[in-house]
Amino acid sequence: MTRALILTHGKLGRALLDSAAHIFRGGAEVDVLSNEDFCGSDLAGAVRAWADAEEGPVFVFVDVGGGSCGIAAQLALRDRPDSWILGGVNLPMVLTYLGAADQLEPVELVSKLLDRALNSVRLVGDESRS
Amino acid sequence: MSILLARIDDRLIHGQVVVGCCGSLHARRVILCDPEVMADEFQQRLYAAAVPPDIQLDFCDVPGTAEIIAGLGEEECRHLIVVTGSCAAMRDLCESCPSIDRVCLGGLHHRVEAEEVWPGFFLDAEDRNALRALLDRGIEVVVQRIPGEEAIDAAERLRAIDSPT
């Protein structure tokens, strides 16, 4: 079973998880960490401590891959081959993880998460206007 | 001849720097002045991936940064952002770079033994000493996360903190 952390600016991660709970109950457990009040090295340390708390594969969802959260996650997990960091976290990605994390191997899960998240970003309604 | 921005930020290069500063100030070059990053190719790849390809990014220590700045012309300086991760590094840089006449505190987050001096900005004794050294050199020090946000003059608050009561 994988573990997951949503690591974002401000309160975005908590809001995503709370919003997901309005749509889907149960499924995998997900933790949340905000970059608020952390300097860069402390944020990476907090992610590392979270990852090292238990054995097994870990997923970290970040809002901006090249931002402080994405960089901290990459620094924290640089020596962990059983970790996956996904940027651009959105509600479909979180919902997919909650529903599928205990059913798929990590590599398959990554593929499904990216597929659902990317396909959710589209013009809604009359697509002929794009 | 001033550089575009001399920024102190313990997160080094991230969204505020790339989008908020480089974008709105039309920077063409960023020097990340940090010896740890300079010695670590993995970290360099992370920060390089965060910066748009049309912006030149250099990884240097303080002497290397000073050397680059000394060799730049006025136009190049006008488009240059320098980022250090600490106040002490910026103080050291300013000692050898007279072209830096203004320093911006962009991000100094919570750390052990650091106190919140402005909302969201935490300084320890070493930070305060370094910033006072900048003020003593006649360098303007402002608190400003991103351009467009109100720039707070740091001098009065800094001098008040450690002055005898």
Q: What is the ipTM of this complex?
A: 0.81
Q: Is the dihedral of CA A2, A24, A120, B52 positive or negative?
A: negative
Read off the CATH number of the domain in which B33 is found.
3.40.35.10
Q: Give me the residue from A38, A43, A78 closest to B42, CB to CB.
A: A78
Please enumerate residues of B whose Cβ is less than 8 A from a Cβ of A. Answer: 10-15, 18, 42-43, 46-47, 49-51, 85, 107-111, 120
Residue B162 in any domain: the answer is no
Residue B157 in any domain: the answer is no
Q: Give me the residue from B14, B111, B120 closest to A71, CB to CB.
A: B14
Give, as one character, the DSSP assignment of residue A129: G
Mutation site for A-interface testing, chosen from B8, B14, B37 by largest number of A Cβ within 10 Å: B14
User: Shortest CA distance to A14 belongs to which of A35, A28, A41?
Assistant: A35
Pairing of strands A83-86, B80-84: unpaired
CA distance B74 to B76: 5
Residue B155 in any domain: the answer is no
Confidence of residue B107 (pLDDT cuts 50, 70, 90): very high
3-state secondary structure of A46: helix
pLDDT tens per residue across span B74-95: 999 999 999 999 999 999 999 9
DSSP B79-101: TEEEEESSHHHHHHHHHH-TT--
* Domain A3-116: CATH superfamily, name plus number: Phosphotransferase system, mannose-type IIA component (3.40.50.510)
Res. B164: pLDDT tops 60: no
The domain in which residue B88 lies consists of 5-147
Domain count, chain B: 1
Res. B99: pLDDT tops 80: yes
Using the beta-carbon criterion (under 8 Å), do A66 and B50 form an inter-chain contact?
yes
Categorise residue A88: left if φ over 0, alpha if ψ from -120 to 50, beta otherwise. Answer: left
3-state helix, strand, coil in chain A (%, to 5): 45, 15, 40
Per-residue pLDDT of chain A (130 residues; tens, 9 = 90+): 899 999 999 999 999 999 999 999 888 889 999 998 788 889 999 999 999 999 999 999 999 999 999 999 999 999 999 999 999 999 999 999 999 999 999 999 999 999 999 999 988 887 777 7
Angle, helices B87-96 vs B125-136, to 10°: value is 20
Partners of A34 in the β-ladder = A8
CB pairs under 8 A between A and B: 49
3-state secondary structure of A11: coil
Instruction: Determine contact, residues B58/B31, Cβ cutoff 8 Å.
Output: yes
Using the beta-carbon criterion (under 8 Å), do B15 and A64 form an inter-chain contact?
yes
Mutation site for B-interface testing, chosen from A36, A39, A47, A69 by largest number of B Cβ within 10 Å: A39
pLDDT tens per residue across span B23-73: 899 999 999 999 999 999 999 999 999 999 999 999 999 999 999 999 999
A88 and chain B in contact, CB less than 8 A: no
pLDDT tens per residue across span B146-158: 999 999 999 999 9
Using the beta-carbon criterion (under 8 Å), do A68 and B46 form an inter-chain contact?
no
Res. B163: pLDDT tops 70: no
Q: What does the block give as tokens for A99?
A: 């529903």
CA distance A10 to A5: 15
Task: Name the closest residue on chain A to residue B121, using Cα atoms.
Answer: A37
Whole-number average pLDDT of chain B: 94
Give, as one character, the DSSP assignment of residue B1: -
CA distance B154 to B147: 16
